[in-house]
Amino acid sequence: SIKSVTGDWYGNKDGSKLFPGLATIQDMGWDQGPARFQKGQVAMTFSGPWVISDIKKNFSTWAETGKFGITADTKVSDIFGACKLPRFNNDQQPVTFSGVQVTGMNVYTDYPNAAMNLMRFLASDEIMNVVYDVMGKIPAVKESASVPGLNEDTVSQGFLSQAEYSHAMPVIQEGNYMWDPLRDVWTNLFDEKMSVEDAQAKSSEDYKKILENAGK
């Protein structure tokens, strides 16, 4: 069963360490969990590094209104933190997807040298600093030290600790088709409607039907 893997970190039971008294899995979905988290209605949520820019964007307003007890001297890391997902009871680390943004050069371009120089510039430490300072995103760098402040940024480092256990998000249409079947797996398990094996089998069959209907 799913409980044999996740143990007390499971379910909508009053004894759950993670979600005590939670009504349904829908309460932790994308349209509910992060929204309630940013309103201060729940203590934690599953999300990604994109929430950093949202929180930074709202931070000045929160300081002006005194929300969450924020003052002019408060830092983002004083009220918000991130860490890698806890291990399951079988000591396996949950694996996540890591969103990526890529820049490519058209093989038919009339200006291959200029295009390559542009890509080198976009991947440079100079631009990665802009990505971090201006856009509020975690930059794609081999060494965090190349971006001033990144090593000391405990929030970003929390997300990066989970990145070690992440796969690059596939940028293909087949990847977009998987979300509903994948959601149904966790819904059926969380609400105890199916066994792990049955939920996986149903999800796989549903995914194949979606691909077939899409002509894939």
How far apart, in whole angstroms, are the C-alpha atoms of residue 85 and residue 42? 17
* Four-residue CA torsion sign, 130, 132, 136, 139: positive
Q: What is the pTM of this model?
A: 0.72
Model pLDDT, residue 42: 67
pLDDT at 185: 87
Report, as ranges of residue numbers, the positions in the chain whose pLDDT lies below 50: 1-2, 5-13, 16-18, 20-21
Report the distance separating Cα 144 and Cα 97, nearest Å: 20
Among residues 56, 52, 28, 54, the alpha carbon closest in space to that of 42 is found at 28
Q: In the prediction, which pLDDT does 193 show?
A: 84
Residue 7 is predicted with a pLDDT of 47
Among 109, 105, 99, CA closest to 120 = 105
